[in-house]
């Protein structure tokens, strides 16, 4: 099972100008290699059978005949292969010459797609030799002994995807043919190109491909001419690029003197899911009136499949300089959201429960940022630490020290006596450390925060994060509730980086050290007493599983709507060196079970700012019945091998 992935390749052969017999040998070698790797579709450069830079030799009948003979050779060589090959050649058609892409499979030419937009400036003079495919009527041509359809408006349907073809300059047009092809159903676009090199041009091309694949919500495979093309006036460096919905999947090295083949998998299932959710895409598609020619490819036996593309284990957390930019942007969104709520309510204070853990630390830092931006005195931020039965010296010390260092108002209110009284009231054995024991403490803390906010004309700033909401790892009407939840759409893996980011950018060394120690503290609700040495005994990730796994599952459920089997495949690829298969299966089932069962908590969430593409707000992002059945998801988890 391919789980919606399609193996594709962008190949860049060495060529000799005007030597189709040599060129087809290089192409055949690459196609055979690709077939051996299970590639379904391979794309070669523009006019790859003749070379692009033949100039006026395109007017010679001998070259056209040699190109046709080379295509026949390629068809014979691949007659027993399942792979679909897309190669470029000049084709004589109704009294003119077309720059075409030939799509071939198992000895048959499935179609000829002519280039639509021909450059006619400075270094390129294609209109000297070729006619635009848009200027000739659709029809058929006899080539290689077959009657073949010639059309710029053609899609090719395989069992795993629908693809379209455009050629080089087509991409650079204001409205590329690929836009219309995508709107008519193409999942993947293949571009046969001959793009010369100029300073700065490659970066522009990368941006163009990224944007086109993102606008069209498609895969985009680009293959450009390389070594062997004439360098009389231009140099062709061999550009190979594969994008998926704006994301670069694979990139060839330029200026290589040998052939190259770039391969990866495009996730068609993901693209189709995204299109279904994007109503703008559907609206644009409804405006396309022209009837498209759909060519069915030959059905071939299923091939062994292995995933080779890199899967990011932490999809919410970018790397390098992008992480710094992402943290700044998220922090600014959180700050602005809270600042607006402070101004709107005319609140004199904001109240935050400070535990010494990651979530409350981030919430406090956002409060400080909002007050500073509004020009308010930090004393209006009231941090309340509420030691309980499980509070450790480490978290308590960090909580108090951080509040002192940030210059906010500090209140300490122990919950022990109140909880003991509550246990007596409801006749609960204090030695029985069950759900009642834990939730009573969480609700007592929330009651204190709410009432303290009433006392001081303020509101409670919530600390819970996106990961906790997904798992329901919050006490209903306890830490589940607040007046404004600044962390509501920030996943746990990112919370950690945000706190570390603030630590790196703070000027005070004591504050930095305190924040870094908080980052290193095990995640825990601290509702169960510590051990004899005062260490945390209740570690969240021991109970519900690693947050990095749950955040991974959450991303692919919310952002892409993937089923458990596909998420499992991706998780194995991303975490194979860290977690074994049984561990991934265990926590994936836990995620699915808890995600469904805990929806009732998300149905009444407080307001909070959305910071990324994934959110569980019941008002806009995730509207799921609290009593939806999880049976199908759990059944698929049980069937994972």
Residue 635's Cβ-count burial label (10 Å; 0-12, 13-18, 19+) is exposed
DSSP assignment of 200-250: THHHHHHHHHHHHHHHTTSEEEEEE--BTB--SS------EEEEETTEEEE
Structural contact between residues 274 and 560, judged by C-beta atoms closer than 8 angstroms = yes
Structural contact between residues 253 and 74, judged by C-beta atoms closer than 8 angstroms = no
Structural contact between residues 253 and 2, judged by C-beta atoms closer than 8 angstroms = no
Give the span between the Cα atoms of 326 and 497, in whole angstroms.
10
Give the span between the Cα atoms of 182 and 609, in whole angstroms.
34
Structural contact between residues 423 and 453, judged by C-beta atoms closer than 8 angstroms = no
DSSP assignment of 441-503: HHHHHHHHHHHHHHHTTEEEEE---HHHHHHT-S-TTTTT--SEETTTT--HHHHHHHHHHHH
Let me know if 589 is a catalytic residue.
no
Structural contact between residues 385 and 427, judged by C-beta atoms closer than 8 angstroms = no
Q: Identify the active-site residue in 35, 40, 46, 244.
A: 46
Give the span between the Cα atoms of 368 and 374, in whole angstroms.
10
Give the span between the Cα atoms of 242 and 263, in whole angstroms.
8
Beta strands at 41-43 and 84-93: parallel, antiparallel or unpaired: parallel
SS3 state at 565 = helix
Q: Give strand pairing partners of 461.
A: 484
Let me know if 115 is a catalytic residue.
yes
Could you tell me the sign of the dihedral formed by the alpha carbons of 62, 64, 69, 73, in that order? positive
Stated length of the chain? 641
Q: What is the DSSP letter of 560?
A: T
Q: Identify the active-site residue in 100, 144, 161, 168.
A: 168
Give the span between the Cα atoms of 192 and 101, in whole angstroms.
7
Give the span between the Cα atoms of 182 and 213, in whole angstroms.
9
Element (DSSP H or E) covering residue 125: strand 124-125
Q: Identify the active-site residue in 7, 54, 66, 115.
A: 115
Structural contact between residues 316 and 557, judged by C-beta atoms closer than 8 angstroms = no
Residue 320 backbone zone (phi > 0: left; psi -120 to 50: alpha; other: beta): left
Could you tell me the sign of the dihedral formed by the alpha carbons of 65, 69, 74, 80, in that order? positive
Structural contact between residues 459 and 484, judged by C-beta atoms closer than 8 angstroms = yes
SS3 state at 12 = strand
Structural contact between residues 193 and 162, judged by C-beta atoms closer than 8 angstroms = no
Let me know if 225 is a catalytic residue.
no
Residues 6+ apart with CB under 8 A from 631: none
Q: How far is CA 16 from the centre of its chain?
A: 40
SS3 state at 387 = coil
Structural contact between residues 185 and 155, judged by C-beta atoms closer than 8 angstroms = yes
Give the span between the Cα atoms of 165 and 156, in whole angstroms.
9
Structural contact between residues 341 and 374, judged by C-beta atoms closer than 8 angstroms = no
Residues with a catalytic annotation lie at: 46, 115, 168
């Amino acid at each position: 099972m391919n789980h919606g992935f399609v193996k594709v390749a962008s190949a860049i052969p060495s060529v000799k100008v005007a030597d189709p017999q040599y060129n087809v040998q290089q192409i055949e070698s690459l196609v055979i290699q690709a077939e051996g790797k299970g590639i379904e579709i391979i794309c070669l450069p523009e006019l790859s059978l003749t070379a692009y830079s033949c100039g006026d030799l395109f007017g010679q009948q001998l070259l056209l005949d040699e190109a046709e003979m080379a295509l026949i050779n390629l068809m014979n060589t691949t007659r027993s292969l399942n792979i679909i090959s897309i190669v470029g050649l000049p084709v004589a058609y109704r009294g003119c010459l077309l720059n075409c892409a030939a799509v071939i499979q198992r000895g048959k030419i499935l179609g000829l797609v002519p280039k639509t937009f021909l450059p006619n400036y400075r270094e390129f003079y294609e209109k000297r030799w070729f006619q635009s495919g848009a200027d000739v009527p659709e029809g058929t041509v006899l080539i290689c002994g077959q009657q073949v359809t010639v059309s710029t408006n053609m899609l090719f349907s395989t069992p795993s995807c629908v693809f379209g073809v455009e050629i080089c300059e087509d991409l650079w047009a204001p409205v590329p043919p690929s836009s219309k092809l995508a709107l008519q159903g193409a999942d993947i676009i293949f571009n046969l190109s001959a793009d010369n090199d100029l300073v700065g041009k490659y970066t522009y091309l990368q941006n163009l491909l990224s944007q086109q694949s993102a606008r069209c919500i498609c895969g985009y495979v680009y293959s450009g001419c390389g070594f062997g093309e004439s360098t009389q006036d231009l140099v062709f460096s061999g550009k190979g690029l594969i994008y998926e919905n704006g994301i670069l999947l694979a990139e060839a090295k330029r200026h290589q003197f040998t052939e190259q083949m770039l391969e990866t998998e495009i996730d068609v299932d993901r693209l189709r899911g995204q299109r279904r959710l994007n109503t703008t895409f559907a609206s644009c598609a409804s405006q396309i009136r022209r009837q498209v020619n759909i060519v069915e490819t030959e059905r071939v036996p299923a091939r062994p499949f292995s995933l080779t593309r890199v899967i990011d284990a932490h999809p919410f957390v970018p790397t390098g300089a992008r992480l710094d930019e992402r943290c700044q942007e998220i922090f600014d969104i959180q700050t602005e959201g809270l600042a607006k709520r402070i101004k709107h309510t005319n609140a004199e204070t904001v109240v935050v429960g400070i535990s010494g853990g990651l979530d409350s630390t981030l919430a406090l830092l956002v409060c400080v940022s909002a007050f500073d931006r509004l020009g308010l005195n930090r004393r209006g931020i009231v941090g309340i630490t509420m030691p309980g039965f499980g509070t450790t010296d480490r978290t308590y010390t960090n909580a108090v020290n951080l509040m002192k260092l940030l210059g906010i108002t500090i209140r300490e209110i122990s919950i022990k006596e109140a909880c003991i009284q509550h246990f007596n009231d409801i006749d609960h054995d204090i030695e029985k450390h069950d759900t009642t024991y834990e939730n009573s403490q969480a609700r007592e803390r929330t009651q204190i925060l709410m009432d303290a906010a009433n006392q001081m004309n303020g509101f409670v700033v919530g600390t819970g994060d996106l990961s906790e909401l997904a798992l329901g790892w919050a006490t209903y009407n306890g830490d589940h509730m607040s007046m404004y939840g600044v962390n509501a759409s920030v996943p746990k893996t990112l919370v950690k980086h945000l706190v570390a980011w603030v630590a790196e950018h703070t000027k005070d060394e004591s504050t930095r050290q305190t924040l870094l120690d908080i980052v290193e503290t095990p995640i825990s609700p601290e509702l169960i007493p510590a051990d004899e040495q005062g260490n945390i005994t209740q570690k969240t990730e021991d109970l519900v599983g690693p947050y990095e796994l749950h955040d991974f599952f959450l991303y692919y459920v919310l952002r892409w709507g993937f089923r458990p089997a596909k998420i499992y495949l991706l998780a194995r690829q991303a975490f194979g060196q860290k977690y074994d298969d049984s561990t991934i299966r265990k926590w994936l089932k836990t995620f699915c079970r808890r995600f469904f069962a805990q929806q009732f908590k998300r149905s009444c969430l407080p307001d909070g700012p959305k910071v990324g593409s994934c959110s569980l707000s019941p008002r806009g992002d995730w509207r799921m019945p609290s009593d939806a059945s999880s049976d199908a998801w759990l059944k698929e988890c049980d069937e994972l091998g």
